[in-house]
Amino acid sequence: MEAGAGFKVKRIRFLGREVPILLQNEFGPCALLGIANALLLRNSVTLSSDHGSVSVETVATLIADRLLETNGEAASRGDETGLQLRKTLDDAIALLPELERGLDVNVRFSGGFEYTPALTVFDLVDVALVHGWIVDPDDVAAPAVDNTGYNQLVEKIVSEGAAQAADFLDRTASQLTYYGLSQIHSKLRERQLAVLYRNLHFSTLFKYDGKVYVLVTDLGYRDEATVVWECLDDVDGDTEFVDAHFRARPPAP
């Protein structure tokens, strides 16, 4: 594994304990960051308290160790299932450093994603990957959009015109619909950690007291104790920041 740009570390309070979280580097909120922060908050992996920054290699190794810890026994069986799981683990571990730069994801507008081998990383560490770019069944574009993926829909627009499908993409350029937002809120369990895919970004989510929050990983907020989470309650970004105790950030003087 080759070291990349690495990640700065911010320490926050989370449910009564201090937790180091990783902040974005030049590649933004990447899949590696989203997974690592979910595991750190869940206490499934740990970082030494004296880390001010960590390399991509270190983060990938932490996740690889977690993959082996939770799946290694099953993968060590000599039967066909065990051998297949071992190959899946090997492929997932080899992929980890690449998750810093990007991950090929194709959303389905009815919810979920088209399968790619890279998505098995989320399954193997038991971190749900969700998105909110979901068409409302009552939307006029639903017949043209539902049960298709983004790539399929673009091909359909190019080859057939498909005005309603093109209009849907224009209206939902934020890649989050109010229907999709409601689906995220209803499907996440209380105090569940997950990863949100939106606009090529992978952000750590947490549901607390019935609300869903996005972990703030912008480097500019590293020293802002009052900015830890952002409420996920609007599709156009009109949201508010809260602190580690989920209290609203005081208004600027």
pLDDT digits (tens, 9 = 90+) for 223-236: 998 999 999 998 88
pLDDT digits (tens, 9 = 90+) for 20-29: 999 998 888 8
pLDDT at residue number 36:
97
- Annotated active-site residue in 51, 131, 201, 231: 201
pLDDT at residue number 249:
75
pLDDT at residue number 2:
37
CA trace torsion 115, 119, 125, 129 (10° rounding): -90
pLDDT at residue number 46:
93
96-104 average pLDDT score: 86
- In this predicted structure, the answer to whether residue 80 has a pLDDT above a threshold of 90 is no
Q: What percentage of the chain has pLDDT greater than the value 90?
A: 70
pLDDT digits (tens, 9 = 90+) for 132-151: 999 999 999 999 998 899 99
The Cβ-side half-sphere exposure at 112, using a 13 Å CA radius, reads 7
- Binning pLDDT at 50, 70 and 90, where does residue 75 land? confident
- In this predicted structure, the answer to whether residue 71 has a pLDDT above a threshold of 90 is no
- Tokens representing 155? 């091909």
Q: Helices 31-41 & 56-75, crossing angle to 10 degrees?
A: 70
Say how far apart CA 115 and CA 239 lie, in whole Å: 31
pLDDT digits (tens, 9 = 90+) for 155-208: 999 998 889 999 999 999 999 999 999 999 999 999 999 999 999 999 999 999
- Annotated active-site residue in 30, 51, 131, 185: 30
- In this predicted structure, the answer to whether residue 110 has a pLDDT above a threshold of 60 is yes
Q: How many Cβ atoms are within 10 Å of 33's Cβ, its own excluded?
A: 28
pLDDT at residue number 5:
62
- In this predicted structure, the answer to whether residue 60 has a pLDDT above a threshold of 90 is yes
pLDDT at residue number 237:
77
- Binning pLDDT at 50, 70 and 90, where does residue 77 land? confident
239-249 average pLDDT score: 91
Task: Indicate if 30 belongs to the active site.
Answer: yes
Say how far apart CA 215 and CA 37 lie, in whole Å: 9
Q: Which long-range contacts (CB under 8 A, 24 or more apart) does 135-141 make?
A: 135/109, 135/110, 135/168, 135/177, 135/179, 136/177, 136/178, 136/179, 137/179, 139/168, 139/179, 140/164, 141/165, 141/167, 141/168
Task: Indicate if 185 belongs to the active site.
Answer: no
- Binning pLDDT at 50, 70 and 90, where does residue 3 land? very low
The strand pair at 128-130 and 193-198 is best described as: parallel
- In this predicted structure, the answer to whether residue 126 has a pLDDT above a threshold of 60 is yes
